[in-house]
Structure 1
């Protein structure tokens, strides 16, 4: 689209900024509670709320409190939550077998949430790092992250989560071929209506540090994730990855991190038109919270502005730790 613009003074852009009413009438994008997915961390125990020190206001919650958080999300109109497990250290092994244990902490939380709030869309994480002795998203042999063997493990993990009641599978591992394998397995096992929201363009980013603290993988990580996560310098590659995942059966795609990669979000939406999401990751959240705590920024305004940026860039929704806070503001409950 190329707009027709008259010359000054026939055209005065400030006319449509004169009042709140005119600004609202001419606003191009809107943020609503329907755009929010709330990431939550689940851990063992009962009535346990354990703060994540690098993410102020975020806690690891036991299953009973995860259910209460899901009920809170439902009351606020948030359409989906996403679960990430903090696994007991004894269950972090080289073979990652706990990842597809039907009774692991994530699958127990899925069943509990679906029993209490059946209409809540429940998204899960598919990657081996919370269950891996060395903190990687894939199986490791002689320092090499194995692709095909990892995909086999991820398929078992996917089916266990679908059996538990997950509505949306979120593969965050960045192994080649995993979307096709997961989609085929879901179809063959009768889970044809389970959606896949693929982390199609997940970059090897320094913004993930607080998240790794939250799931307990940071201190265990041996080496880095550069051989499977994307080079932050690449954009065309992201389009190829997104197209591949859509071709293999992904229903939705995600760009991660968020704000530093808005150009990728925009290109993805313009190129493919598929439902496109971004993850406002832990480092983005932590920076806003830290700056606000020091009085350097207006945290609430920055929070809302940052989420509007995702909408402007073409995102249909955002995974954000700010979700309940934003929902209350949007609904006048703050």
Structure 2
């Protein structure tokens, strides 16, 4: 698998997102969650992304368990997130005292003295305009509790503001054929400032796997059931903010561009990786087969100009009006 620069780190360009082994994606047993991490490591993945609220620390603990049994903590970069434990979730609470407490808890969950990478977890927009929030992260780094810090954002505006702070090494953002706005000004600025870009929700909550249909149903505790209208958190996290039926129509059009030797998921990941500003993409899965297929996208040929053109046309016809102005 190819490697890319992610802030201070060099990582393989396909990582593993671990939201689904923590919570909000239906029932996943502890052993299934740990086995997904094992499979990722076996496939050559060196970058794992988690958060302190994924199952209230469950995802972090699964990662720690597997890294310990493999004695692999020095070979793998683990990024976690902090801030969503705040209640109420307000910008003024993104301060040193709260962030320090969250970092200490993650250090315990991940069984490490210093966290590789801590990201603010989609804070309210006002937090990006608080220098004291980023001063707190710098202080935690100086104290040796974290090695690097970045942000996970909802909107391009937030990403652009965050990278004005010199200590911010990475930005995690939603980017895929259904969420193309980051490829404009933000990617250019991130590249200019040598900021690493982590792409989350690359497969639009499963829409861009081609495995969903109009008859698909989801468990009660799956965000694809309870967050379609943004009732629990930002609606852009579920199906990338695209209305489900519209997304299915767009997928049907996209599939005509997929070559015979790739799945739609691999085609999507290759499309993402064709953007040089991207440092790592983090699809999540508990399926060993899907994890291996995701990794294989790294070795696939870049898409043709015609294929990129079809993706652009589908976005303009079906998707743009729903998402482009919002995120």
TM range (shorter): 0.5 to 0.7
Bigger RCO (CA 8 Å, 6+ sep): 2
- Structure 1 residues 63-89: Cα deviation after superposition (integer angstroms, max 9, x where no partner): x443322221111101112234554xx
Q: Which structure 2 residues correspond to residues 132-171 of structure 1 after superposition, within 5 A?
A: 138-140=86-88, 145-151=89-95, 152-163=97-108, 164-165=111-112, 166-171=115-120
Q: Distance in 2 between matches of 1:320 and 1:113?
A: 19
Higher strand share: 1
Q: Distance in 1 between matches of 2:139 and 2:150?
A: 15
Change in Cα spacing, 1:264 to 1:37, as seen in structure 2 (3 Å) is farther
Q: Distance in 1 between matches of 2:280 and 2:170?
A: 11
**1:38 positional shift:** 0.8
Per the alignment, residue 271 of structure 1 pairs with 192
Per the alignment, residue 173 of structure 2 pairs with 255
Q: Distance in 1 between matches of 2:77 and 2:68?
A: 12
Larger radius of gyration: 1
- Structure 1 residues 48-106: Cα deviation after superposition (integer angstroms, max 9, x where no partner): xx9936xxxxx6341x443322221111101112234554xxxxxxxxxxx6xxxx534
Per the alignment, residue 307 of structure 1 pairs with 269
Q: Distance in 1 between matches of 2:90 and 2:68?
A: 36
Q: Distance in 1 between matches of 2:176 and 2:103?
A: 25
Q: Distance in 2 between matches of 1:112 and 1:316?
A: 26
Per the alignment, residue 191 of structure 1 pairs with 145
**1:323 positional shift:** 4.7
Q: Report if the CA contact (8 A) 1:277-1:318 is conserved.
A: yes
Change in Cα spacing, 1:34 to 1:106, as seen in structure 2 (3 Å) is closer
Aligned residues: 226
**1:35 positional shift:** 0.6
**1:279 positional shift:** 1.5
**1:173 aligned to 122, 126, 139, which one?**
122
Q: Secondary structure at the match of 2:50?
A: strand
Change in Cα spacing, 1:110 to 1:289, as seen in structure 2 (3 Å) is closer
Per the alignment, residue 323 of structure 2 pairs with none
Q: Distance in 2 between matches of 1:236 and 1:173?
A: 12
CA RMSD of aligned residues (A): 3.5
Q: Which runs of 5+ in 1 are unaligned?
A: 1-29, 44-49, 54-58, 88-98, 132-137, 204-229
Whether 1:81 and 2:48 are equivalent positions in the alignment is yes
Q: What TM-score does the superposition give when structure 2 sets the normalisation length?
A: 0.57
Q: Report if the CA contact (8 A) 1:81-1:121 is conserved.
A: yes
Change in Cα spacing, 1:329 to 1:315, as seen in structure 2 (3 Å) is closer
Q: Distance in 2 between matches of 1:281 and 1:243?
A: 25
Q: Distance in 2 between matches of 1:125 and 1:79?
A: 18
Per the alignment, residue 17 of structure 1 pairs with none
